[in-house]
Structure 1
């Protein structure tokens, strides 16, 4: 898309009676920071999905789909420029700027110098640097001329022509440069250009900036170049208070101003609702994410607890089998001891075997066979006593072995449960860190969202102030009377809390 050529045009700067310095500061700040706000908006829309431009334009600003907030700002800017609230100067071409700067001659006679020399403007090729290095003691005849009135170029004598020759000016320039190193009275070119541009912005020159003229100069000027009239007398304090009350009453009774203020208050209420909606939506997403994560964490912890219990059950089952096996071994050992004990008791109680019994059926006795005589010795009794001692101590020994085994099994179960409990505790700590990371992430998103909303709020408040100033200026131009500014419509933190309480 080709850009339209910018034509050189001077916009009139019209002072507005009700335009206070604070209003001018707000209006200038509103338009000077516009590019910064647009850059922040692009940066915010690029990485923050919490902010929806279309939703903001439709719900808060109530703009059509094809109109953006930038278009609204452009409209307000055009209204302000149309009323003369802002000095608007289009950008000139580079050639025009260099040519206009090269034709300006700045006299550096003294710090309290008057306007620049008109005669030096009529000298075309003179540069800023050649005028800057003039001697500080050189009088400037043309600088004593007023800005208004007909311009009369006096006739130059031969001596004056020789003094103004380029050769003489070169010597004077070198002398002025030497003096300038010690005195430092001449001003820099950039400061003089800035002061000259500043004098062009103001509509009326101040009384102190008009140089005094000699009687000879007054006689040579025309009749309209008279002294400036003294400023009008300032009203008294009571009159000023009365005028302020009347202006405030006119503002409070003006239907257009009240309608605009009501519209701004409604827009403020919509902005608060939109802000509460975004924050509540962000909080609900955070809570949902934490709930989903907690459900997963509970499931994982339940699985770990189930695995722990299953491992403990398996360990106890193995320990029970081991205990039963040892118990069987103890029973076998006990039966063997009892069997040996009965055998030794019988041996010690019956040292001689019994006689052969009589056969009843045949009526004859069996053949008596002599048996060897068996003697019970002291050793046999000693072995019998040893078997008694083993029988009596066997139960205690078996019980002690079982208790030792159960103690080892209990310690093994405790160690297993401690290891599994430590794993579960570590898992819970990791899960708490995950929840804290979710909180931190959403806190960062909330901070970015609040920053974007703060920028939007500042943009709204600046536009509200500018719209109020525009409407007040229109009414003053229509009625010819002064209207006092009403309190600004602002969005406070308490308003957001109240809106959150009402919606919650």
Structure 2
């Protein structure tokens, strides 16, 4: 009995070259749709007036005036597509692809494909994506049967006819007969029907075994469509390390890869210089704005200080006039006291009036008029002593009054200066708030600029990784050998600080 080959519908996904999980991850992130990139660019590039798209393209990317960074990314994407590195849309999750592939089993082969002719046995499918060249996919647990996942057949009417054909009914009867025979076996095996039926069937493959082909089947297939041999034994740790070292050595000795890396490092240096230039320019504008504001504030404060000093001088002048006026009053009072004192002294010392004087012209004495006799009493002497006491205490009293006046004047000056100083201090606080507002404004602009630069940095790093993978894939296709991935070219915060120190 001749076993007929089992055929399945080809997998509709284009085969993708082998990629590491890390490459697959960042490739998905890098190949975003154009609208998403433009929206992100509008969000981040619109912050502040410091960022100049044309200056960035010319100084960092060194692109012509008519070429943008989007055009550069599109060229890189086209190169990746040409090498089979298919772009993944951001909405498509890798887990969805994995889950969809994991649900496909051998049982997905529908019997609706119909019988195969005798002539078709000599020309089996030769596609690399056919089921004969894919190993059987086992379920997650050996005790569970894989769920059937029939693929969609293009012609539903033909499939319906095949299901109702006598062959399909006979096949279902044979399948039920086999299930009754092998009730203790949890996994199904691939078998064939007798050649008298002139057709083929597909059963669930065995989990613990791989279907075998007869020599007649092997001779009927083409020379390049043989079933792949069982996977070789996993290499040991030493062999894997040796292969990794050889792949890394090939990458470090490849001139094309080194040239690309040197180009990326130069682009990184230009990006750091551009970043330092923008930040230093922003800091210079901030310092200039603060200096101008300080000059204006110093002028305002100087004007307030001048007004304060002028007010103090006017107050002191008024106080001096008041003191001089009081001093004059004291002098008048003192002269009055001295006049009264002299009068009382004369009264007390000469109790009787003097004799009548002789007339010099006539040589005769004047007519003697009798005058009343004056008597100095104790009261007169008491008044004289009181005048002496007033004269002696007058200087001390006047000095005390002057000191009291000067104390009041001093407190008035101090109060005036305190009020003016408080006004100046309030003005200085307001000016400090204005300077802090300038710092806050420029800090916000700096943060927005750093966000825009961070977006550009992430885009640069993604493009660098993509270019490195493209170059490595080209070399692998040219030489047929594996090339290891060199460390990614990234922009770190320490690099920016070093560039700032060098430029400063």
TM-score (norm 2): 0.72
Q: Distance in 2 between matches of 1:83 and 1:197?
A: 46
The alpha-carbon distance between structure 1 residues 97 and 386, as it changes in their structure 2 partners (threshold 3 A), is: closer
Shift of 1:229: 3.8
For residues 138-185 of structure 1, the C-alpha deviation after alignment (integer angstroms, 9 at most, x for no partner) is 999999999999999999999999997999999999999999999999
Q: Is the 8 A contact 1:107 1:116 kept in 2?
A: no
How many residue pairs were aligned?
504
Q: Is the 8 A contact 2:257 2:468 kept in 1?
A: yes
Q: Distance in 1 between matches of 2:234 and 2:451?
A: 46
Correspondence list, 1:257-406, <5 A: 257-406=257-406
Q: Is the 8 A contact 2:60 2:271 kept in 1?
A: yes
The alpha-carbon distance between structure 1 residues 175 and 2, as it changes in their structure 2 partners (threshold 3 A), is: closer
Shift of 1:217: 14
Q: Distance in 1 between matches of 2:211 and 2:66?
A: 57
Q: Is the 8 A contact 2:76 2:467 kept in 1?
A: yes
The alpha-carbon distance between structure 1 residues 86 and 192, as it changes in their structure 2 partners (threshold 3 A), is: farther
Q: Distance in 1 between matches of 2:285 and 2:203?
A: 58
Out of 28-37 and 337-346, give the one that drifted further.
28-37
Look up the SS of the partner of 2:106 in the other structure: coil
For residues 337-375 of structure 1, the C-alpha deviation after alignment (integer angstroms, 9 at most, x for no partner) is 111111121122222211122223322222222222222
Shift of 1:267: 0.2
Q: Is the 8 A contact 1:102 1:126 kept in 2?
A: no
Out of 125-134 and 469-478, give the one that drifted further.
125-134
Shift of 1:16: 6.5
Out of 404-413 and 209-218, give the one that drifted further.
209-218
The alpha-carbon distance between structure 1 residues 72 and 104, as it changes in their structure 2 partners (threshold 3 A), is: same
Shift of 1:76: 0.4
Out of 193-202 and 453-462, give the one that drifted further.
193-202
Q: Is the 8 A contact 2:279 2:446 kept in 1?
A: yes
Q: Is the 8 A contact 1:12 1:84 kept in 2?
A: no
The alpha-carbon distance between structure 1 residues 176 and 24, as it changes in their structure 2 partners (threshold 3 A), is: same
Shift of 1:251: 1.8
The alpha-carbon distance between structure 1 residues 36 and 189, as it changes in their structure 2 partners (threshold 3 A), is: farther
The alpha-carbon distance between structure 1 residues 94 and 459, as it changes in their structure 2 partners (threshold 3 A), is: closer
Out of 100-109 and 367-376, give the one that drifted further.
100-109
Q: Distance in 2 between matches of 1:317 and 1:59?
A: 69
Look up the SS of the partner of 2:130 in the other structure: helix
Look up the SS of the partner of 2:46 in the other structure: helix
Q: Distance in 2 between matches of 1:487 and 1:202?
A: 48
Q: Is the 8 A contact 2:126 2:225 kept in 1?
A: no
Q: Which residue of 2 aligns with 1:251?
A: 251
Q: Which residue of 2 aligns with 1:23?
A: 23
Q: Distance in 2 between matches of 1:117 and 1:179?
A: 27
Q: Is the 8 A contact 2:304 2:424 kept in 1?
A: yes
Q: Distance in 2 between matches of 1:185 and 1:476?
A: 46
RMSD, matched Cα:
11.6
Q: Is the 8 A contact 1:476 1:483 kept in 2?
A: yes
Q: Is the 8 A contact 1:337 1:390 kept in 2?
A: yes
Q: Distance in 2 between matches of 1:342 and 1:194?
A: 168
Shift of 1:482: 2.0
Q: Is the 8 A contact 1:106 1:128 kept in 2?
A: no
The alpha-carbon distance between structure 1 residues 207 and 502, as it changes in their structure 2 partners (threshold 3 A), is: farther
Q: Identify unmatched segments of 5+ residues in structure 1.
A: none
Shift of 1:198: 34
Q: Is the 8 A contact 2:352 2:373 kept in 1?
A: yes
Q: Is the 8 A contact 1:102 1:127 kept in 2?
A: no
Shift of 1:37: 4.0
Q: Is the 8 A contact 2:356 2:368 kept in 1?
A: yes
The alpha-carbon distance between structure 1 residues 313 and 288, as it changes in their structure 2 partners (threshold 3 A), is: same
The alpha-carbon distance between structure 1 residues 275 and 176, as it changes in their structure 2 partners (threshold 3 A), is: farther
The alpha-carbon distance between structure 1 residues 184 and 261, as it changes in their structure 2 partners (threshold 3 A), is: farther
Look up the SS of the partner of 1:4 in the other structure: coil
The alpha-carbon distance between structure 1 residues 470 and 433, as it changes in their structure 2 partners (threshold 3 A), is: same
